[in-house]
Chains A and B, each alone.
Chain A
Amino acid sequence: MSLLAFCEWLAATQGSIALHESLYMYPLVESVHVLALCLFVGLATILDLRLLGKVLRGVPVSQVADRLLPWTIGGFIVMVITGSLLFYAIPIRTYQSVWFRGKVIFLLLAGLNVWIFHSGIYKRVTGWDMDERTPWPARRAGIASLVLWALIIVFGRFIAYNWFDCDIQPQSAFVNWFAGCVVAAN
């Protein structure tokens, strides 16, 4: 089964239709998604800024990381659950959205960034815990995180707009390719 076929199947399920058509559930899920952003991206930003030596310079990096981790993880879980529900409500259009696809790529890169940071420089954090200006790999992780999450927010917000939707043709060849549009040959 192709991903598109899966999304078509998903879109025909009762839950998807109910969520899509609900007067309050969909806005409610979207609001929770946005509010969890403050918890997750907001607090992750504090850690990123600490890595760059821009805030809480007197606090050890590991203390900032450890103390904020439960909150960022909690926020992230809420983001994933509500985000999945938002996708579930509008599967096909979202799957064929250039913004959604861009967002997924940036999400994967953000995950990769966390993995590189934690399996690399953060293992030796005791050596630079109190540094105001942290080692380059740590600063690099902070910059990458700030940029990627900003892009994820903007692309996420843009999913709601239909400039590049597959059913609005003609689109450029790049959009049709990247969004996976099925364009009828004429």
Chain B
Amino acid sequence: MLLPFFQWLEKFWLGQYVVGSNWLFPVIESVHLLALALLGGSILIVDLRLVGLGLSGREVKEIAREARPYMNFALVMMVSTGIPLFLSEPIKCYYSPAFWVKMWTLAIALIYTYTIRTKTTRMEFVHNTARRQMLVGALSIALWFTVASAGRWIGFS
């Protein structure tokens, strides 16, 4: 059902522009990768704390508040470099299971991060919070891990 849409995207000028250049795809891909490192760091520092590791001597709230602008920035960079990468090969993506796994888990991870996870990191710490924090952190790591792995796998299929 989506195939005609992807075929239409294949002709879109931005993707064609990337395809027409020897350098553009690798350069955008590199920026995508740099943003991944920043995204990984800004998410992991909070998730590690949620599961009781890393900066365990500090409050979750503080670390989450500090990491948030970097996470937001990294996500904006990921999406704005990811779109031209996708547009350079929409049909290939359409037939790639890794692409669909990535997009679905990405949607889930984004919603999860900005709802449940954000809410948890803002909660006042009371005696039964630790368990919830641990669960929320572990699920976040698992979700983003899947997004990143599936993303890398698009390139292999």
Query: Residues of A at under 8 Å CB distance from B?
Result: 27, 30-31, 34-35, 37-39, 41-46, 49, 55-59, 63-64, 67-68, 71, 149-150, 153-154, 157-158, 160-161, 163
Smallest distance from the beta carbon of B128 to chain A beta carbons, Å?
25
Cβ-Cβ contact count across A and B, 8 Å cutoff: 95
Interface of B is mostly: helix
**Bound complex: CA of A157 vs CA of B153, how far in Å?**
15
User: Is B63 an interface residue when CB atoms closer than 8 A count as contact?
Assistant: yes
If A59-B55, A63-B55 touch, whether A35 touches B148 (CB-CB below 8 Å) is yes
Are B149 and A154 within 8 A (Cβ)?
no
Please determine whether A38 and B70 come into contact, CB atoms closer than 8 angstroms. no
Chain B stretch 57-74: residues in CB contact (< 8 A) with chain A = 57-58, 62-63, 66-67, 70
One of B38, B55, B145, B156 near A45 (C-beta < 8 A) = B38
User: Are B33 and A153 in contact (CB-based, < 8 A)?
Assistant: yes
Contact of B33 among A37, A64, A71 (CB under 8 A): A37
Interface SS of A by simple majority? helix
**Interchain CB contact under 8 A, B54 and A68:** yes
A56 to B30, CA, bound (A): 27
B66 contacts which chain A residues (CB < 8 A)?
A: 55-57
